Amino acid sequence: MPLTDAAIKKLKPIEGKRYSKSDVGGLLLDVTPGGVRSWVFRYRFNGKREKVVIGRYPDVSLKEARGERDKLAAVVRSGRSPFMEKKLAREGFSASPTVREFAERYYKEQVEKNWKDPKHIRRYLDKEILPAFGSAQLKDVTPMDVQKLVYRKRDNGQVAAAIQMRGVIKRIYDYAIETHLAISNPAAMVLTRYIGKARKRSRVLTADEIRRYLRTIYDSNIRRQFKLALHIILLTLVRKSELLFAKWEHIDFKNGEWLIPTGNAKMRRPHIVYMSKQVAELFEELKRLAPDDSPLVLPGRGRTTKPFAKNALNKALEGLTFEKMEPLTIHDLRRTGATLLTEKGFNRDVIEKALAHEHEGIRAVYIIAEYAEQRKEMLQWWADYVNGLLNESKVIVGNFRTA
């Protein structure tokens, strides 16, 4: 039976007991043992019971409480939780955030706390996701919006990156659903099997393929700096980004050392690459090719303070045709070096250190050696081995010392 003002006035507190009287449509009047009477709206959201306090009687009249109940019921029908919206407001969050607002919250609360290396997530947000629909309301992004963004990357030949980006969007919306700010996940409706299959991360070049790789890049029409860079990556086993962001102040020709500072290192710790004679010669040519005022080893076209775009080397490599070889990626060069060095009997820990990998578990506690001398010897051996492969094939790739 609906409540009336007369019935409400007759309600008395009961010592040691809290009780409530129902109106209609989920509206209740809660009465405490101390005599405090409060309006409460109860409802179901996604199958769970929730409630929100509207206000105290008589500050909020029966008529006003019913009006507020109707507004809250409309919020529930729209697929939102009044309880969560009030909770978010108390915590300083928007109840209807944009994708940008919620993505930044997700990054702060989940990624920074739980991801060891979140650079790729930050990159996808800043370069792809937020420019595409960062200003849209979180609830307004559709599966078609996600599909358009992901398929564009797929159609550009970057299947693995497309799958990763779709995964970032999906995790953002998983968290939005968990925090009751979304009721569906548009990325979950973009199935990975229709994006394509990422290449298996098991490509290792044979000795003959290493010959073909170097012959092809040096015989091609790509920029000389790119040829040298792709050669350096093979001989040093560094990551592409570590070379792209290298500065001349980090190259010590006298001692044959290349410092990769914390800001450039994936593992967020400085790393020293011991340069073989061949690598030093390649860097010397890059020095001659770079403008005199360039702080960067690989300054971008027409600018000395910024490197080439991160995908420039990838694009250059993808544009080459390698005869009698399967396609390869830049990361395959690191895997090739690590695999062949292992097969040649070099110490696993020395190889891992050269790759700037961190030990895990108990090995991380006890193995803290830098293996400097062993790494110098190993990388020189590797450079000599690769050079020997070229000599065996009698392939001339040009005078590395001549710009």
* 276 belongs to a structural domain: yes
**For 108-142, what is each residue's pLDDT tens digit?**
999 988 887 788 899 999 999 999 999 999 989 99
**Are 40 and 124 contained in the same domain?**
no
pLDDT, mean over the chain: 86
- pLDDT above 70 (res 51): yes
**For 258-309, what is each residue's pLDDT tens digit?**
999 887 766 567 889 999 999 999 999 999 999 988 999 999 887 778 888 8
Give the pLDDT score at 367.
46
CA dihedral (94, 97, 100, 101) in degrees, to 10, reads: 10
**Are 160 and 38 contained in the same domain?**
no
Tokens matching residue 354: 């050269």
CA gap 235, 227 in Å, rounded: 13
**Are 291 and 218 contained in the same domain?**
yes
Among 52, 68, 90, give the residue marking a domain's end: 90
**For 55-75, what is each residue's pLDDT tens digit?**
999 999 999 999 999 999 998
Among 169, 195, 221, give the residue marking a domain's end: 195
**Are 285 and 367 contained in the same domain?**
yes
Could you give the percent of the chain with pLDDT greater than 70?
91
Rounded to the nearest 10 degrees, the angle between the axes of helix 62-77 and helix 82-90 is 100
More confident residue, 69 or 87: 69
Give the DSSP letter of residue 137.
Answer: B
Q: What are phi and psi of 364, to 5 degrees?
A: -65, -30
* 69 belongs to a structural domain: yes
- pLDDT above 60 (res 394): no
**For 216-267, what is each residue's pLDDT tens digit?**
999 999 999 999 999 999 999 999 989 999 999 999 999 999 999 887 766 5
**Are 369 and 229 contained in the same domain?**
yes
CATH of the domain at 238: 1.10.443.10
Give the pLDDT score at 178.
86
Among 195, 225, 255, give the residue marking a domain's end: 195
CATH of the domain at 114: 1.10.150.130
Whether residue 291 contacts residue 299, with contact meaning beta carbons closer than 8 Å, is answered with yes
* 398 belongs to a structural domain: no
CA gap 342, 204 in Å, rounded: 12
* 367 belongs to a structural domain: yes
Task: Indicate the pLDDT class of residue 403, thresholds 50, 70 and 90.
Answer: very low
- pLDDT above 90 (res 368): no
Give the pLDDT score at 73.
93
Give the pLDDT score at 393.
47
**Are 57 and 140 contained in the same domain?**
no
Residue 309 makes CB contacts below 8 A (sequence gap 6+) with 300
**For 142-188, what is each residue's pLDDT tens digit?**
999 999 999 998 888 788 889 999 999 999 999 998 887 888 899 99
Span 96-109, average pLDDT: 91
**Are 16 and 143 contained in the same domain?**
no
Tokens matching residue 67: 């009006």
Please give the residue range of the domain that contains residue 126.
99-195
- pLDDT above 70 (res 396): no
